[in-house]
Amino acid sequence: GDSVTQTEGLVTLTKGLPVMLNCTYQTTYSPFLFWYVQHLNEAPKLLLKSSTDNKRTEHQGFYATLHKSSSSFHLQKSSVQLSDSALYFCALRTNAYKVIFGKGTHLHVLP
Amino acid sequence: EAAVTQSPRNKVTVTGGNVTLSCRQTNSHNYMYWYRQDTGHGLRLIHYSYGAGNLQIGDVPDGYKATRTTQEDFFLLLELASPSQTSLYFCASSRDINTEVFFGKGTRLTVV
């Protein structure tokens, strides 16, 4: 069946360093992937989305490229800030017309 | 920005109790969803709907019922609440399946 896998539960980095949060997926349908960010005590909000193979999509300094050959949609940022500390979810639109989420990755940025 | 309103924001009930969580969206969105969020499990889909009167089963439906009475209103019912249903519940909506999902602020449910 359809699934989304985020491998890291917690990523801790010092401010100014680059980050990559991993996301891989399985689906038999044409993939449509999302990244959502949830700050402490807030609701998740859309960060970026894509359905186009090998095209980079960017928002608020974050970027991701959908690679259908490797079923991946990793989230990256070249220089993390303290305000980037949050829970990040990768999500997949499935062929059952629903959106399923990965387990999430906590990003903790140190001063 | 799209508005999704959940009520109540916090609820405590006893084991075996009856609970209804309410959700209203004023965005004219077609899709509405109920998720639960638990540490180590992320967001898990309970039920969803793509229009008034429609109901689809999600990935963790056991112990939950849902009703979509109007385009705006989506309810989650726990008829015999159990401690395993203690969680943070999010309602969400989207215009269609490929567009942004907008979340409400969540309902924290505790079953004692």
B98–A93 CB contact, under 8 Å: yes
User: Torsion angle, CA of A8/A14/A15/A18, rounded to 10 degrees?
Assistant: -50
The CATH code of the domain that includes B86 is 2.60.40.10
- Nearest CB neighbour to B90, from listed A43, A93, A97: A43
Residue of A nearest to B37 (CA): A103
Q: Give the tokens for residue A81.
A: 């800030």
Q: Which domains, and CATH codes, for chain A?
A: 3-110 (2.60.40.10)
Cis previous bond, A111, omega within 30: no
Q: Give the tokens for residue B65.
A: 């019922």
Rounded-to-integer distance, Cα A37 and Cα A26, Å: 21
The domain in which residue B69 lies consists of 4-111
pLDDT digits (tens, 9 = 90+) for A7-35: 888 999 999 999 999 999 999 888 999 99
- pLDDT < 70: residue spans in chain B: 1-2
pLDDT digits (tens, 9 = 90+) for B8-33: 999 999 999 999 999 999 999 999 99
Tell me the three state secondary structure of residue A37: strand
Rounded-to-integer distance, Cα A89 and Cα A84, Å: 13
Please count the structural domains in chain B: 1
Q: Which helix (H) or strand (E) holds A106?
A: strand A105-110
B40 interaction partners in chain A (CB closer than 8 Å): 9, 103
